[in-house]
Structure 1
Amino acid sequence: MLTLPDDLRGAFKDPMGPVYTDTERLLSDAGDPIVAVGDVVAYHLRVAGRDPDVAVIDGKTEREAVSDEIAAVLADDDRRIEVTNDPATLSASMLEALAEAVADPDPVVIYVTGEEDLATVPALLVAPEGASVVYGQPGEGMVLVDVTAASKREARELLGKLEGDTAAALAALGVE
């Protein structure tokens, strides 16, 4: 549905919020609900006793399979939605799954065949204000993004820079 052009890859590298290495501190600053994008982030939240309301995982970290310990902790899923999402893209199934998962009052894991890296942007659009989206910043820690009118605007601008049908993507998310 949407593809990240090569010339925009740098725009998605800078953290969209503060970077944490202490999960407890991150959780004390986080809103509710929490959307976690990435296996290692979801793992750290679960180990700290806070199951993310939505976890978007792909069984990998930095394009390598996660450790057996991380895989075991993440295997304990309440509800699981499986989607296919190629690298550097946002598929219709990913967008629809995010909208469905955020609307579910129970925890949901979205398991991605492919790559989940760009899911942060639509997660910000579909999560309610007051929520938090947490994602991994390779080699640095976990980025906490508060869902506010401003972060939603920034996410919408980033989504609009991707190649493809932005209107259809917003419709798949249930966002105007």
Structure 2
Amino acid sequence: MVCTVGDVVTHSALARGIIPAVGVIDGFTMRSPYLAMPEISHHILRVRNPAGTITDELVAVLNEAVMSTPCMILVDGEEDLAVLPLIRFLPDGALVLYGQPNEGVVVCEVTQELRLRADDLLSCFESV
């Protein structure tokens, strides 16, 4: 199972014939509109998630997407932090690909240790 977070990473995967089980995009890359996305034939879910946040709605949609793959999530706002809650819902061995600005693609294999690290980071967030 391969999941992608970010427009460029998702586009690159699709262009290479890799169909993400879950893809999360927001229409931007490095805060500039990203207009190169190929047509998406996945089941599509939409969610609002302001920049710098992880809303309860985003978490719920990520969970729903993992249960109904392949699925593309279109975020109104920003998808950058979606990697953290997404890791919680994926099975061991799943791969999560996301972009590291000016560096390239980061690939994480989901393990119990990675879930614990994601949970630890999520515990640092404030509820609003």
TM-score, L = length of structure 2: 0.96
The Cα offsets for residues 66-99 of structure 1, whole Å up to 9 and x where unpaired, read as 13xx22x1x3232100000000001111101100
Structure 2: runs of 5 or more not aligned: none
Q: Does 1:60 align with 2:28?
A: yes
Aligned Cα root-mean-square deviation (Å): 1.1
The Cα offsets for residues 91-115 of structure 1, whole Å up to 9 and x where unpaired, read as 11110110011111x3100000000
Q: Percent identity?
A: 38
Q: How does 1:1-40 map to 2 (within 5 A)?
A: 33-40=1-8
Number of the residue aligned with 1:79: 43
Number of the residue aligned with 1:107: 70
Divergent runs of 4+, >3 A: none
Number of the residue aligned with 2:17: 49
Q: Does 1:132 align with 2:95?
A: yes
Q: Note the C-alpha offset of 1:35.
A: 1.3
- Which is higher, the Rg of structure 1 or of structure 2? 1
Q: Whose RCO is larger (CA < 8 A, sep 6+)? A: 1
Number of positions where the alignment pairs a residue of Structure 1 with one of Structure 2 = 128
Structure 1: runs of 5 or more not aligned: 1-32, 166-176
Q: Does 1:88 align with 2:56?
A: no
Which amino acid in 2 is paired with 1:41? V
Q: Note the C-alpha offset of 1:124.
A: 0.9
Q: Does 1:118 align with 2:86?
A: no
